Structure 1
Amino acid sequence: MEPSHSRKRRKDNASATQGDVKRLKTETKGENVSHCSHRLHTPRISVLRDHQQPMTQDELMELLHFAALGKAGGIGQPSWCRLHHQRKVKAVNVVVVEGLTQSHFYKHYLTLQHLRTHYSTRVSFTPPSNNLTSEIFSREVHEWDGSPGSQTEQESRPLHKVPNWHPVISKFGTKRRGPTAYVLTQEEMIKKRYPVKGMPGFEDFVCTDSDACVSDSSPLYGLDCEMCLTERGNELARVSLVDSDGKCMLDELVKPQNRIINYLTRFSGITAAMLQPITTTLREVQVKLRKLLPRDAVLVGHSIDNDLIALKLNHPHVIDTSLLYRKEFGQKFKLKVLAETVLQRQIQTADRRGHNPTEDAVAALELAQYFVKTGPLQVVERHLEELWGGYTVDLNESNLCGVAPTLSNRFADRLQKHGRSIAYLGKRGDVELDLSHQQWHNSDKELLASFRRQTTFPFFSVLRLSSVLDQVNNSSSHQERHYQRVCGSLRDARMVFAGPFSAGFSEKDVSRLFRCCGPVQKVKMLKTVARIHAEIEFELLEGALLALKTLNGLKVQGQTIKVQRPVNESMLDLDLTLDALMGDKINTNQLYAVKFNPHMTNCIQISAKSSLDATFVHHAKVNGLKLDACIPGLPHGVEESSVAKQRRPTSSKLTEEMLRETFGIFGKVERIVLPTKPGKRARYACIKFDSSEAVCAALNASEDLWKEKYVICPSLTPPHLHSWVTATTATTPKDSEGEAVNGETLMHTSPQDQDMEDVMRRLDHRLGKLFRSLPECTLSVVVLQTSTRSHLPGLCLIEVKQDLLEPATPFTLGTSANGTPARTSQSNGT
């Protein structure tokens, strides 16, 4: 159990840092508040937490089809990500850079300043089997029904009597979809006055620990509340929550805070005698609900806005059955009527004194489940006369959908049907698009200049850049060899050398010792004439960084070991690369954390005042923060009697609940990733906050976190690299004669490499100018694509262009006049 004074000190540190952030925001309030409010309603991309595999061509098409056509065009959200506020996307721009792989991006990471700083979503891309640019325009568009590629019975059968202006059909269409299709959007919740975080009138409401997005597999929970009338209006008197199986999880009577004027017994069933012994408060119920609801829970209720207001609870994912079974002109069916007609069940009967909230919660839940399972078309057809009075208009399927059966379903044709302008710019090639929409250019420079000179940008545009491919083909270094070079460099960045160890120390002992800093990929013992050392390769960059920070100087069996990085050419720019990764847009809100075993922490002492790497210090100062304590410094020695304890497993079990409790005081925790293998416990965690200020607050309190056995550092490894990292140990690179070559030979900079560096610098500069010329709210997609014959992974970079003033200008790594890397301050407009 943590001492109370330690927890209090950590909270004070977090509060002090957050106070600095609040003061900084107050100083620039007039300038930034409107932008923050605007940013909440602008399009943005978020990748689903369980999507870690490389993106396929089909998945890229899912995103492009939805971004360009949206639900109005009968297209559902992509299966691997969410594009929020799609209706506000003003244009879609796709740039296909041929000849480059994911390894090229990380080989020239420091050079590609625009691509690495302005694209917040990066996903590995599986090489396509055909011409990607042609496939984009010619691909058939399939309306999504909740499960990609499937076709339900209702899609193939004719429609007879339901017009497209029916209130349910006009809202939800005719296709059967997953539950997320019926979750209210933030705009709908704001418009209908549901509790939404940050909106006026809901400042004192409690927020649930909910994920940014939910999926069709997210659990549904039924909710219903009963109220009494008090001096301050209606207040909560009873609450019921049921799970997706209808099992009651919570049924509590609640004592209203103010004096009760009317118990509303006729409706609520609450009497004075029932509430007289009750001491449960609204706050206690809020705490229980937050513990019961998982992060991806979807709340279901009938007019659930009233229930959330009574609970003073903000929850972003709700399904309101009064809006599913909707009537014309905003009228609503009573829950009792829907239960009787749809579920064939009697509720709220006259022989009962008031409503039963558990019964009502189950009814609302089952109504939602029935609607999702059956689909809007069949729901309307089955209950047309009983609920909606029986429309008798006969329409065939073509008229209902508004699409002629003979119309082509190609993506380009669908875009033109919806009045969307399209364009292709690139070398002349096999592109299935009308010639009037194509522009052919001999060079990428000419192509990009021509596109930027246009007075009116097309809604959907594809640019195909080929000059890099020519450079790659002319280079003496083969693609496979280049890939192996970058793999070798990545292995070096995740590797440390340690020693000397005593003669009895084995690979297993070394692995047990070093895995306290993160998962160990491989250990190799190195025996010289006099001493024994070890080569330790971690799975992630953070593991090697923490090993250097915490284990260098550790005393093991009387020997003080030294932990150091490999010394070769590939490591010369590693400090700059790690600085840039630390400030990378996809890493700035994330922390890497491990929890040491108590026996291990007795061996290692933390430096009271140690400093962060330079880039993060600069980044913190720009945001108005002062960091006094950061990553643990060099440890002192340990006693020989501790060695036996070191050989035990050195990482305590990590749970999401434990991490949220520990790190939640620094700011809102959006997501916690606990990678673990079946049957194994998680040894490290990646914690994503909603702001970089929360990361700074946590780092500032690292000394107090150490007392709880936590060691933290800023995230370094991009999420999409996890699957690629594992594959880098598969083979050893070989030279042209088949002989294995060491890291120094592999990473030698040849004249061809220098030429390639110049090509990448020019490419990044031109793509930056293109990005800045795009209209606001344009979905920008850059695809680094290898040839169709290659198996090497490409990279897809995605961002929605926002012409908003940033509250702070991050430091990035530029190049000085003499060609050496230098720190510069750069905004989006430079």
Structure 2
Amino acid sequence: MVKAVCVNGLKRPAEGAGGRQAARKRRRAAGGGREPGPEEKSSCLSAALFGEDCEISRDQLYELLKFAALGKCHSAAQPSWCRIYRQSHLAGVVVIVLPEMSQLHFYQFYLQFRHLRKVFRHRFTLTPSANFLASLYGEGANPKPQNTAQGLTSTSSKSSDLKCDPIFQKYGGKKRGLTSYILTSEELNKYDYPIKGSTRWKGYVCTGCDKQRTDSSPLFGLDCEMCLTAKGNEVTYVSLVDARGQCLLNELVKPQSEVVNYRTSFSGITEEMLLPVKTSLSDIQTRLKKILPRDAVLVGHSLNNDLQALEVAELNLEMLLKAENLAEVSKKKDALQPQGCRVQQQLNEPPRLSKPCFLLSASFLECLQVTGQNPLLLGRQELDSSGLCQSNLSTSNKQILQKALEDVPLSTFSIIQFSLGPENISSRLLAELCEKVGSKLTDMLTIYAGPFEENFRLKSVKKKFGKCGPIQCLTVVTETYQPYVCIQYEVLEAAQLAVESLNGAEVAGSCIKVQRPVTAAMLDCDVLIKELELDVENEGVIYVAGLKQSVTEKDLQEEFSQLKDLEMLFLPKDLQSAKHRNCCFLKFQKSQSAVDALEVINGWTLKGSKLRSRNALASGHLWRWIRQMNHSNGKQRGNIFYKKMQQLPDSEQDLKKKVKKLDNHIQKLYRSLQNNTLCVVLFPGVNSTYGSQSGLGLMGIKGDRGRSAC
């Protein structure tokens, strides 16, 4: 299995003044906004996406969005595949979806997507799905747009799951004020909540929350973990957050009596964790009284048990907020914990032995609403049918953009859907795009070398050109006066390295020319190569060729560990034989370190083989995609459908203009965002009768100054 290997313990030199100035210019050009001052704390994103580790599942994407929107205070764990630093400082989350588009579209119109490819620091591959939005949000979303005489209109019908939901059966689907959910005195008695003045709760501390509750009363999420002691259930952990998700209390508590059972499998609390703890229950009670205002409303799951353990009374301020009823619904959901869903499930919980819980769509959106974060959904399709979210329908990308510019600043979580229109994303167009991209990719991987003498040795040519990188096939061209050799590589860097280093060289006794095929599609090849080199994903990444088969991954780590600022190493391997492909990629933390490494590595000898290197052209996700496309090109070209393809209604030039305009829309929206906004652009991928195409994700935090800021 191919892996990207981190190289640790390397010294990171200070960046020069010139490098800092250049970085500032790039950020201003990309973001269009102000740059955070030195005293301003900002969020930043670190994603170890390199080599073949760039494929991200729908669950992992959902994991990222959930943590970015809700944070640790809502049981959302840091994503397993990347890390958001200072999530609480995020100004918002914006997801831009381009339906029915894939990696194929992005690289076919690579030059037109100028803004997308220059701004977003991280890219990843997505596997296509039949219903992207449903898979992204879980089972709660069921988009069903309808056509009418006036165009597309939204429907407010509930899904079958929601119709059976006891919450909707009791409260209905319309929005209600906060006071509608607060427990009555009868319900407090029924569920054994501690009440002031009752002899049963004698000795309990009163909160002092005696003010009348209104629909604007402040919400606070409370959660406790208990262990079993000689006294009974005693608190070992307390967490309190406000409606914005800000953590107000996050403390381990020392039990008064001897612990009989820590209940680690449920609470995550261990004996070692409590050894240094000195905070007592009375300390927690005092802090709660100071924090909670007189009209506070608590939200949680099984609050009666938590407050009994806290020995806190006067519970007319409590509300279940669907906790008891959601427990019934959640039993049907494998993704939820057995106790059921609550608004903040295990708030700010300590590490657990069990797998992290991922809330499904409805729970995710409910959490956003309860904490005051109203999700914004804009697009040509109805994105949500649950009635829980603000859903808007527009008929053009321009209308969507105008609405987004108005409403996105008012929402902390937004999904904006732009589309090229059904006439431009049909299966027929997909087939033609696949053919064009495959043909151009093959031409970019192919070079012609010659002329050679009649009796030249093909083995000598293969050995010479093989030092530039892995060769897929090599054939002799005999239609010319003197023989030429057609060489098709597996990676773009190898073909470009051969053109740059072997043109005019003496090979097999002949002074040869090296060039790419001359076709209409290749006229902009030099421009494309230059743009790929400058791609933000390729900053600090270099390609190294000329490795002997006897060289191991360990050898490379030891050999290159002396290079300054080396972060990761990627050694591509054949999936069947598991042998490496005689080349590798090195990723550096700073661009200048990569430039310095190029000078050192060129001419470097490793186990008797002279190494060659150049700047990377294909990032990790693209390297994998190129291999897949290259492997399937032969089958696609043999299909009679391609040979009989008729001209599409819109010319390719018109389609390029539409893509360019789409890129401009995204640029305008991005520039309007506040700094510290996480922005994710998704090409969901395509499943059609002509095959499936992988999706593509681009992400970044506006104003993120890169790894050094983390």
TM bucket normalised to smaller: 0.5 to 0.7
User: What is the distance in 1 between the residues matched to 2:701 and 2:133?
Assistant: 21
User: What is the distance in 1 between the residues matched to 2:473 and 2:461?
Assistant: 10
SS of corresponding position for 1:797: strand
SS of corresponding position for 2:43: coil
Within-5 A mapping of 1:558-707: 558-595=509-546, 653=551, 655=553, 658=556, 662=560, 664-665=562-563, 667-677=564-574, 680-681=579-580, 683-701=582-600, 705=604
> Deviation of residue 754 (structure 1)?
0.5
User: What is the distance in 1 between the residues matched to 2:302 and 2:273?
Assistant: 23
User: What is the distance in 1 between the residues matched to 2:40 and 2:623?
Assistant: 30
User: What is the distance in 2 between the residues matched to 1:583 and 1:779?
Assistant: 23
| 89-98 or 497-506, which deviates more | 497-506
Within-5 A mapping of 1:436-447: 437-447=390-400
Alignment equivalent of 1:520, drawn from 449, 471, 495: 471
- Structure 1 pair 387–769 and aligned structure 2 pair: CA distance change class (3 A): closer
User: What is the distance in 2 between the residues matched to 1:52 and 1:703?
Assistant: 27
- Structure 1 pair 38–512 and aligned structure 2 pair: CA distance change class (3 A): farther
Letter aligned with residue 793 of structure 1 = S
**Which residue in 2 is equivalent to 1:406?**
325
Letter aligned with residue 444 of structure 1 = N
User: What is the distance in 1 between the residues matched to 2:685 and 2:626?
Assistant: 19
SS of corresponding position for 1:536: strand
> Deviation of residue 449 (structure 1)?
0.8
- Structure 1 pair 375–85 and aligned structure 2 pair: CA distance change class (3 A): farther
CA contact (8 A) 1:500 1:562 kept: yes
> Deviation of residue 121 (structure 1)?
1.2
CA contact (8 A) 1:591 1:712 kept: yes
User: What is the distance in 1 between the residues matched to 2:37 and 2:639?
Assistant: 55
CA contact (8 A) 1:670 1:689 kept: yes
- Structure 1 pair 673–26 and aligned structure 2 pair: CA distance change class (3 A): closer
**Which residue in 2 is equivalent to 1:753?**
652
SS of corresponding position for 1:52: helix
Alignment equivalent of 1:731, drawn from 622, 630, 633: 633
User: What is the distance in 1 between the residues matched to 2:650 and 2:380?
Assistant: 28
User: What is the distance in 2 between the residues matched to 1:692 and 1:328?
Assistant: 50
> Deviation of residue 525 (structure 1)?
3.1
- Structure 1 pair 764–89 and aligned structure 2 pair: CA distance change class (3 A): same
- Structure 1 pair 788–508 and aligned structure 2 pair: CA distance change class (3 A): same
User: What is the distance in 2 between the residues matched to 1:95 and 1:383?
Assistant: 42
Within-5 A mapping of 1:254-653: 377=267, 379-380=269-270, 398-399=302-303, 404-407=323-326, 410=362, 411-429=364-382, 431-434=384-387, 437-454=390-407, 456-473=409-426, 478-501=429-452, 510-528=461-479, 530-595=481-546, 653=551
**Which residue in 2 is equivalent to 1:273?**
none
CA contact (8 A) 2:50 2:620 kept: no
CA contact (8 A) 1:519 1:538 kept: yes
User: What is the distance in 2 between the residues matched to 1:786 and 1:167?
Assistant: 47
**Which residue in 2 is equivalent to 1:70?**
71
- Structure 1 pair 711–659 and aligned structure 2 pair: CA distance change class (3 A): farther
Letter aligned with residue 464 of structure 1 = Q
User: What is the distance in 2 between the residues matched to 1:480 and 1:567?
Assistant: 24
CA contact (8 A) 2:543 2:584 kept: yes
**Which residue in 2 is equivalent to 1:94?**
95
SS of corresponding position for 2:112: coil
- Structure 1 pair 507–126 and aligned structure 2 pair: CA distance change class (3 A): farther
User: What is the distance in 2 between the residues matched to 1:51 and 1:69?
Assistant: 29
SS of corresponding position for 2:521: helix
> Deviation of residue 486 (structure 1)?
0.5
> Deviation of residue 574 (structure 1)?
0.9
Within-5 A mapping of 1:104-183: 104-132=105-133, 135-136=136-137, 139=140, 161=228, 170=239
> Deviation of residue 482 (structure 1)?
0.8
Q: What do residues 384-435 of structure 1 show as CA deviations (whole Å, max 9, x unaligned)?
A: 7998899899xx9733788813246522112223332211111253622427
- Structure 1 pair 46–554 and aligned structure 2 pair: CA distance change class (3 A): same
CA contact (8 A) 1:45 1:800 kept: no
User: What is the distance in 1 between the residues matched to 2:581 and 2:23?
Assistant: 42
- Structure 1 pair 505–70 and aligned structure 2 pair: CA distance change class (3 A): farther
CA contact (8 A) 2:45 2:82 kept: no
Alignment equivalent of 2:666, drawn from 767, 770, 793: 767
User: What is the distance in 1 between the residues matched to 2:80 and 2:707?
Assistant: 31
- Structure 1 pair 539–432 and aligned structure 2 pair: CA distance change class (3 A): same
Letter aligned with residue 778 of structure 1 = T
SS of corresponding position for 1:123: strand
SS of corresponding position for 1:405: helix
SS of corresponding position for 1:522: strand
CA contact (8 A) 1:652 1:683 kept: no
Higher relative contact order (CA 8 A, sep 6+): 2
State the TM-score, normalized to the length of structure 1: 0.54
**Which residue in 2 is equivalent to 1:24?**
18
- Aligned residue pairs total 522
SS of corresponding position for 2:633: coil
Q: What do residues 183-206 of structure 1 show as CA deviations (whole Å, max 9, x unaligned)?
A: xxxxxxxxxxxxxxxxxxxxxxxx
Q: Does 1:712 align with 2:665?
A: no
- Structure 1 pair 378–65 and aligned structure 2 pair: CA distance change class (3 A): closer
CA contact (8 A) 1:56 1:125 kept: yes
- Structure 1 pair 805–672 and aligned structure 2 pair: CA distance change class (3 A): closer
Letter aligned with residue 324 of structure 2 = P
**Which residue in 1 is equivalent to 2:693?**
792
- Structure 1 pair 445–681 and aligned structure 2 pair: CA distance change class (3 A): closer
User: What is the distance in 2 between the residues matched to 1:715 and 1:386?
Assistant: 51
Q: What do residues 795-821 of structure 1 show as CA deviations (whole Å, max 9, x unaligned)?
A: 1111111177999xxxxxxxxxxxxxx
User: What is the distance in 1 between the residues matched to 2:325 and 2:86?
Assistant: 32
Letter aligned with residue 89 of structure 1 = L
Q: What do residues 457-491 of structure 1 show as CA deviations (whole Å, max 9, x unaligned)?
A: 21111112234444334x9x521221121022112
SS of corresponding position for 1:592: strand
CA contact (8 A) 1:412 1:433 kept: no
User: What is the distance in 2 between the residues matched to 1:389 and 1:24?
Assistant: 51
CA contact (8 A) 1:169 1:377 kept: no
Q: What do residues 325-365 of structure 1 show as CA deviations (whole Å, max 9, x unaligned)?
A: 97769xxxxxxxx9xx99xxxxxxxxxxxxxxxxxxxxxxx
SS of corresponding position for 2:62: helix
User: What is the distance in 2 between the residues matched to 1:30 and 1:127?
Assistant: 37
> Deviation of residue 133 (structure 1)?
6.2
Q: What do residues 245-273 of structure 1 show as CA deviations (whole Å, max 9, x unaligned)?
A: xxxxxxxxxxxxxxxxxxxxxxxxxxxxx
**Which residue in 1 is equivalent to 2:145?**
none
CA contact (8 A) 1:592 1:712 kept: yes
User: What is the distance in 1 between the residues matched to 2:649 and 2:498?
Assistant: 33
Percent of aligned pairs sharing the same letter: 26
